Structure 1
Amino acid sequence: MATITRLFDIPYYQLERFNSIPDALASKVNGSWVKTSTQEYIDKANAISRALLQMGIQKDDKIAVISSNNRTEWNIIDIGVLQTGAQNVPVYPTISEDDYEYILNHCGAIYCFVSDTEVLRKINLIKDKVPQLKEIYSFDAIPGCKNWKELITLGDESNNQEEVEVRKNSIHTNDLATIIYTSGTTGRPKGVMLSHQNIVSNVLDSAPRIPFKAGDSRALSFLPICHIFERMVLYLYQHYGVSIYFGESIEKISDNIKEVKPNVMTVVPRLIEKVYDKIYAKGNELSGIKRKLFYWAINLGLRYEPYGANGFWYELQLKIARKLIFSKWKEGLGGNLELMVSGSAALQPRLCRVFAAAEIPVMEGYGLSETSPVIAVNDMRNRGFKIGTVGKPIGEVEVKIAQDGEILCKGPNVMLGYFKDDAKTAEVIEDGYFHTGDIGEIDTEGFLKITDRKKEMFKTSGGKYIAPQILENAMKQSRFIEQIMVIGDGQKMPAAFIQPNFEFVKEWAKIHNIDLGTTNESLITNEKVIARFKEEIDTINEKFGHWEQIKRFELTPDLWTPENGQLTPTMKLKRKVVLEKYKELFDKIYN
């Protein structure tokens, strides 16, 4: 059996172990799923490699790939580039033109692949400021832009596969494979250098946590492939013989789930929240006994503990709830979903409980771009699942907690360093341990729990430490609150900016015959709305010490999104940006 030491070994391993899977990769084109077999995947990747060598690509050249959606072409280009010893530099499609200019110049990209007209437009705006960029190729057919299929044709016409094999054989497991530019909550993006070994080790060490059958499962992929979380998982699917179907867009995910009927998906907590909110809204529309049963099942689910910890009577009720209510949830998610893996932000324990009760478990994990990314992940089997934690560390990864509570990580998954930035690398890697910047603890059973970001903790003027993420995660369990940022560094008390869950607030107002007006501005100034939010916050405040409690808050009328600048592409708060944006509200609270 072929051994996997470099990322491009993975498709060959799949071919050898599972033969040619007919739908190794599948994308929706003009309304139909177009499937690419394992053999065709390898053949096209080799054609790309041959073409790139014909074009003079050398080892350690950089090629940027920018796609607004996940698609088969991305993976073919990825393997084709890696086989030449060049590096694939994936870039978020939603960043500013300034960041495009910075990243393409910083990494020295000489070619760039784009998905569509909008991404091409952005690149064309800054192309003149990126002197080393030789050519742009598009995945979609765009007039006036070279198409990626031209490289397939060039590769098919080339007779240099031996040269490809020689180049492949010259690539070692410790060689650089990719540079991931972190979205960053402040300052310029940093280029995280990951080797083949970094990511391959993460794939192989994460594989034992997969509970479903190898070679006989389907995945739906829609989280951005430019992020190392989804990218590593795609390599993991390929290693495990899972057919990968690429979702068309977030808006069409519901339709795609029903078509593909996946066994597994990677998700972010916000998506789980939206799914739950939709289910809850439908339950609200029921009447009579059906409505009572729905809420009974929900309340039962919110008390769920794994491994029968709630006892015989609870398990009997749960069995009934699964048959009458939760089975319909599963049907709505395609009927075959066995597992969702959640990353990038903290998952609310109530959601973890209720979906596990519904037999659609969400396994929360933890990691960073710098750790390729997985450090720890939950696993339903062998008592490896604990609600409120991110699971136990994966094999070969050592985790310890520093004296100040910071999580330190050591293992083959830790990055080579930051590209062209030895000083920043030295700041985060000491004695082989990567300093994550997260605060956490390991319990007596070996489960890791994240409690806050080290840099985000602050002191009030009274000298009390405040851990904002703990407060924020607790507050976000309220269905009224979509986003929240706790403030108060150097001030007399903690306070918060809150973006309401506008849809839910409108539903609540409708039930209570409250006129909210027609705008978000009128909603957030409604006295009854403000009173209801105060009630929610006062209730949650009771879980915290007096000095930690949020004493004042202000509601904001706009949505916090990556496009609006308040969040990173991975949905983390850009605290400095949010603070600047709502400076008047800050002054209103503290002056």
Structure 2
Amino acid sequence: MVDIVKQTTTKLLKPIDADKNIFDLLDDRAKRTPDEEIIRYRDDSGQWQGFTGTAFRAEVVALAKGLIAKGFMPGDSIAILASTSWQWTALDFATLSIGCVVVPIYETNSAAQIKMICNDSTVKCMICGTDAQRDKVMTVKDECPTLRDIYVLQTGAIDAIEELGEGVSDAEFEERRAATHGDVLATIVYTSGSTGTPKGIELTHANFVFTVYSGFQYMPEFTLGEDQAMWLFLPLAHVFARYMQFICLAGTVKLGLGSNFKTIIKDFQEFKPTLILAVPRVFEKVYNAASQRAGTGFKGRLFNRAAITARDWSRAQQAGKQLPLGERLRYNFYKKAVYSKIIDVFGGRAGRAISGGAAIAPDLSHFFNGIGMPLLEGYGMTETTAPCSVNPFHGYKIGTIGLPLNGITFGIAKREPGADYGEVLIKSPSVCRGYHNHPELTEQQITDGWLHTGDLGDIDDEGFIQLKGRKKDIIITAGGKNVSPGELEAAVMKSEIVDQCLVIGDGKPFVAALVTLDLAGVNDWLATQGGEPVANLEEAAANPAVHAEVERLVDAANSQVSRAESIREFRIVPDVWSVDNEMLTPSLKARRSVIVEHYRKLIDTDIYVPRKNK
């Protein structure tokens, strides 16, 4: 029995049909806006192209018929390993429309991870974006007994699949579509768990359909407004991006699709989105770029003062106050001279941005709020089919994850002994069906209808939810990547020369590690290398051969994970972590919060170099 001490709910404005499928969302849009451009993208030559509602539906149906002709049956798993593109979206809708299961795979996943995912979800077909991705899959194909077909988008997969389906009738497609009800499994999304082994999360059509219609009710200004547009460049392997793809196409939004980060600013400026969707790292990069362009002279000083004024304005606005007259005059000057130019980076039409995947630094939120583009922080998990709370367009609160979407309830569990806050729990029709092939984990994580998030938090008097830390040790980088540190730490600590390894990076742009050495082990290892012994940990940490060996260990650990999960920087600290100095628990586990706080200066000023003008 779950002991709930606080809860907050946003009621549904009207019931949501739980039996619709995801293709129905596109079908409804095509009927409403058959001749309106609903998708826009750059072709291989860099020219803008698009699909109307009718044309994109036809593309999806042609692909679905090809998959039927190939013999894929309801429940068969088809994996997509490719960058964000209209082809990804079309294949997603096509696969789902005939009752097959989409298994998204990140481009950065290692061959070992791809093998594990293929075998766990019995993938029958892999659609790769490039020849290089296919080559990576081929290194493990013989160890994936169910994987029979591999297609490559780069070399004509779309045309090949559509050609296969030319003999499949509309009636046969409609029969498969009609049999795909809300309770049918739509996708298995793999995410890192506390053990480091990815777990497959099962999401149904009803999970996505509920979250889409809940989003319509919560933010109609965007999802159902006129002349709305969003440029989607986040990986569609991430459930947050995938959900936004569905809600845009189901609503009235023109969806731009691309993945070339080298042209992202140009894409923003030419596509002119009305809403920006990104992880905190993107906004950090925009801020950093603006600061660096300003330089250190007059323009740099102007930017510094403008940034301070923007934050001051934001803090006053959040407190329901106004700046003094002199500061208001300066604010209005900066609005034209500085702030408008930053908003122009995003195309000039974006009045709001939704940030997800990781927490935003308050200073960054206040800066963007002050310049006129609030970052509406939200919260979601793969287990909740992406967003389950977000700050409203009006009345948002910086430092919170907003209010529940319509039809969703947040609860705070009774605090455990010694804890300052209780665990955040969620009850919603958007909560996943469970963990694939892990019924015991499903029972553990979803009890009495409540999903245990692993996060600690609180609910204020107005129902806004605040996060206060993580119950477990999963790291979420600024880019929104979930990283389980245990696997990396264990790999580095295999060596005799390493005493402890702590992987860090929560809310940071990349993963890093702090490493301590075992003095006796170091000297034993040096002896085998023909090296001279060291007298203390300071000498050991400074020894080039020892440093090179730790680097080799880190590289070996990194080879087992994706690039986004890999350790980019490490520092050897000449200290001993023990129970006595409270760095270790009695069971000799690293006390993460204590260690991170102890090395705060090293982390903030050396490993993660601070932003200028901040």
Match of 1:373 in 2: 386
Q: CA deviation at 1:192?
A: 0.3
Match of 1:421 in 2: 438
Question: Are the counterparts in 2 of residues 25 and 37 from structure 1 also a CA contact under 8 Å?
Answer: no
Match of 1:465 in 2: none
The sequence identity of aligned pairs, in percent, is 28
**Distance change (3 Å), C-alpha of 1:291 and 1:587:** closer
Cα RMSD (Å) of the superposition? 3.5
Match of 1:117 in 2: 131
**Distance change (3 Å), C-alpha of 1:586 and 1:117:** farther
Question: Are the counterparts in 1 of residues 70 and 164 from structure 2 also a CA contact under 8 Å?
Answer: no
Match of 1:149 in 2: 159
**Distance change (3 Å), C-alpha of 1:51 and 1:280:** same
Instruction: Give SS of 1:375's match.
Output: strand
Q: Does 1:43 align with 2:58?
A: yes
Distance in 2 of aligned mates of 1:251 and 1:564: 25
Q: CA deviation at 1:589?
A: 6.5
Distance in 2 of aligned mates of 1:275 and 1:185: 33
**Residues 525-558 of structure 1: CA distance to partner in whole angstroms, max 9, x if unpaired?**
xxxxxxxxxxxxxxxxxxxxxxxxxxxxxxx999
Match of 2:586 in 1: none
Question: Are the counterparts in 2 of residues 365 and 374 from structure 1 also a CA contact under 8 Å?
Answer: yes
**Residues 257-309 of structure 1: CA distance to partner in whole angstroms, max 9, x if unpaired?**
22222222211111111111111112234x44x54442222111122134672
Instruction: Give SS of 2:36's match.
Output: coil
Q: Does 1:327 align with 2:340?
A: yes
Distance in 2 of aligned mates of 1:496 and 1:122: 27
Partner of residue 75 from structure 2, selected from 44, 57, 60: 60
Structure 1 unaligned residues grouped into runs of 5+: 458-467, 477-482, 486-494, 503-555
Distance in 2 of aligned mates of 1:342 and 1:79: 25
Match of 1:411 in 2: 428
Distance in 1 of aligned mates of 2:179 and 2:112: 36
Q: CA deviation at 1:497?
A: 6.5
Partner of residue 271 from structure 1, selected from 254, 257, 282: 282
Partner of residue 435 from structure 1, selected from 449, 452, 461: 452
Distance in 2 of aligned mates of 1:242 and 1:413: 22
AA partner of residue 205 (structure 1): S
**Residues 493-512 of structure 1: CA distance to partner in whole angstroms, max 9, x if unpaired?**
xx99789999xxxxxxxxxx
Q: CA deviation at 1:21?
A: 2.2
Partner of residue 181 from structure 2, selected from 172, 196, 205: 172
Match of 2:321 in 1: 310
Question: Are the counterparts in 1 of residues 31 and 53 from structure 2 also a CA contact under 8 Å?
Answer: no
Distance in 2 of aligned mates of 1:363 and 1:565: 36
Of 354-363 and 184-193, the range deviating more from structure 2 = 184-193
Of 15-24 and 4-13, the range deviating more from structure 2 = 15-24
* TM-score under structure 1 length normalisation: 0.76
Distance in 1 of aligned mates of 2:279 and 2:507: 19
Match of 2:172 in 1: 163
Question: Are the counterparts in 2 of residues 499 and 557 from structure 1 also a CA contact under 8 Å?
Answer: no
Match of 2:397 in 1: 386
AA partner of residue 173 (structure 1): G
AA partner of residue 270 (structure 1): R
Partner of residue 262 from structure 1, selected from 273, 287, 304: 273
Match of 1:400 in 2: 411
**Distance change (3 Å), C-alpha of 1:377 and 1:557:** farther
Partner of residue 252 from structure 2, selected from 226, 238, 241: 241
AA partner of residue 236 (structure 2): I
Instruction: Give SS of 1:452's match.
Output: strand
Instruction: Give SS of 1:24's match.
Output: strand
* TM-score under structure 2 length normalisation: 0.74
Instruction: Give SS of 1:456's match.
Output: coil
Q: Does 1:90 align with 2:104?
A: yes
**Distance change (3 Å), C-alpha of 1:74 and 1:586:** farther
Partner of residue 358 from structure 2, selected from 345, 350, 358: 345
Q: CA deviation at 1:34?
A: 2.3
Distance in 1 of aligned mates of 2:560 and 2:137: 23
Instruction: Give SS of 2:398's match.
Output: coil
Match of 2:264 in 1: 253
Match of 1:76 in 2: 90
**Residues 345-367 of structure 1: CA distance to partner in whole angstroms, max 9, x if unpaired?**
11011111111111122111101
**Distance change (3 Å), C-alpha of 1:204 and 1:245:** same
Q: CA deviation at 1:316?
A: 5.0
Q: CA deviation at 1:426?
A: 0.8
**Distance change (3 Å), C-alpha of 1:566 and 1:99:** closer
Structure 2 unaligned residues grouped into runs of 5+: 1-15, 416-421, 486-501, 510-549, 582-614
Distance in 1 of aligned mates of 2:391 and 2:220: 10
Question: Are the counterparts in 2 of residues 399 and 408 from structure 1 also a CA contact under 8 Å?
Answer: yes
Distance in 2 of aligned mates of 1:499 and 1:363: 20
Distance in 1 of aligned mates of 2:560 and 2:375: 27
Distance in 1 of aligned mates of 2:266 and 2:433: 40
Distance in 2 of aligned mates of 1:500 and 1:90: 24
Distance in 2 of aligned mates of 1:91 and 1:498: 23
Partner of residue 202 from structure 2, selected from 170, 193, 196: 193
Q: CA deviation at 1:565?
A: 7.3
Q: CA deviation at 1:26?
A: 2.2
Q: CA deviation at 1:391?
A: 0.4
Aligned residues: 494
**Distance change (3 Å), C-alpha of 1:411 and 1:315:** farther
Match of 2:231 in 1: 220
Q: CA deviation at 1:209?
A: 2.0
Distance in 2 of aligned mates of 1:355 and 1:397: 28
**Distance change (3 Å), C-alpha of 1:167 and 1:497:** closer
Instruction: Give SS of 2:140's match.
Output: helix
Distance in 2 of aligned mates of 1:154 and 1:105: 26
AA partner of residue 158 (structure 2): W
**Distance change (3 Å), C-alpha of 1:501 and 1:151:** closer
AA partner of residue 389 (structure 2): A
Partner of residue 131 from structure 1, selected from 145, 151, 157: 145
Match of 1:524 in 2: none
Distance in 1 of aligned mates of 2:75 and 2:63: 16
Question: Are the counterparts in 2 of residues 26 and 35 from structure 1 also a CA contact under 8 Å?
Answer: yes
Q: CA deviation at 1:249?
A: 1.9
Q: CA deviation at 1:585?
A: 3.1
Q: CA deviation at 1:334?
A: 1.6
Question: Are the counterparts in 2 of residues 193 and 417 from structure 1 also a CA contact under 8 Å?
Answer: yes
**Residues 318-352 of structure 1: CA distance to partner in whole angstroms, max 9, x if unpaired?**
33321222011111222112222111111011111
